Amino acid sequence: MEYTSPLLSRPAAVVSSGVDAGVAAHYGQPLKEQRALAQGRAVVDLSHLGVVTVTGPDRLSWLDTLSSQRVNALAPGESTQLLLLDIQGRIEFDIRMVDDGATAWLIVEPGLAEPLAQFLDRMRFMLRVEVSDVTDSWAVLGGTAGLEALEGLNRWRDPWPEVSAGGYSYAVVAPDDHPGRGRPWIEWIVPRSELESRTAGLELAGMMAAEALRIAAWRPRQGFETDSRAIPHELDLIRTAVHLAKGCYKGQETIARVHNLGHPPRRLVFLQLDGSQHTLPALDSPVVLDGKTVGRLSSVAQHHEMGPIALALVKRSVDAGAVLTVVDSTGSQDAEGEAVVEEYPAAQEVIVAPDAGQVVGRQSGFLRAPR
Please check the confidence at residue 161 and state whether its pLDDT lies above 70. Answer: yes
| First-to-final CA distance of the chain | 52
Q: Which residues of 330-352 are buried (b: 16+ CB within 10 A; e: fewer)?
A: eeeeeeeeeeeeeebebebebbb
Instruction: Give the Cα separation of 176 and 160 in Å (integer).
Output: 12
Amino acid identity for residue 143 in this structure: G
Q: In percent, how much of the chain has pLDDT > 90?
A: 87
The length of the chain is: 371
Give the residue extent of every domain in the chain. 6-233, 268-350
Residue 368's pLDDT band (cuts 50, 70, 90): low
pLDDT at 361: 62
User: Mean pLDDT for the chain?
Assistant: 94
C-alpha torsion sign, points 223, 63, 231, 368: positive
Residue 240's pLDDT band (cuts 50, 70, 90): very high
pLDDT at 30: 97
Q: Give the mean model confidence (pLDDT) for residues 4-18.
A: 97
Residue 174's pLDDT band (cuts 50, 70, 90): confident
Please check the confidence at residue 80 and state whether its pLDDT lies above 70. Answer: yes
Which one has a higher pLDDT value, 362 or 207? Answer: 207
Please check the confidence at residue 365 and state whether its pLDDT lies above 70. Answer: no
pLDDT digit string, tens, across residues 242-274: 999 998 999 999 999 999 999 999 999 999 999
pLDDT at 364: 52
CATH number of 268-350: 2.40.30.110
Residue 333's pLDDT band (cuts 50, 70, 90): low
Q: Give the mean model confidence (pLDDT) for residues 303-307.
A: 97
Please check the confidence at residue 149 and state whether its pLDDT lies above 90. Answer: no
pLDDT at 273: 98
Contact 13, 21 (CB under 8 A): no
Residue 338's pLDDT band (cuts 50, 70, 90): confident
CATH level 2 (architecture), domain 6-233 = 2-Layer Sandwich (3.30)
Please check the confidence at residue 42 and state whether its pLDDT lies above 70. Answer: yes
Residue 175's pLDDT band (cuts 50, 70, 90): confident
Question: pTM for the complete prediction?
Answer: 0.95
Contact 50, 137 (CB under 8 A): no
pLDDT at 247: 82
pLDDT at 363: 54
Please check the confidence at residue 146 and state whether its pLDDT lies above 90. Answer: no
Please check the confidence at residue 24 and state whether its pLDDT lies above 60. Answer: yes
Please check the confidence at residue 220 and state whether its pLDDT lies above 60. Answer: yes
Enclosing H/E stretch for 103: strand 103-108
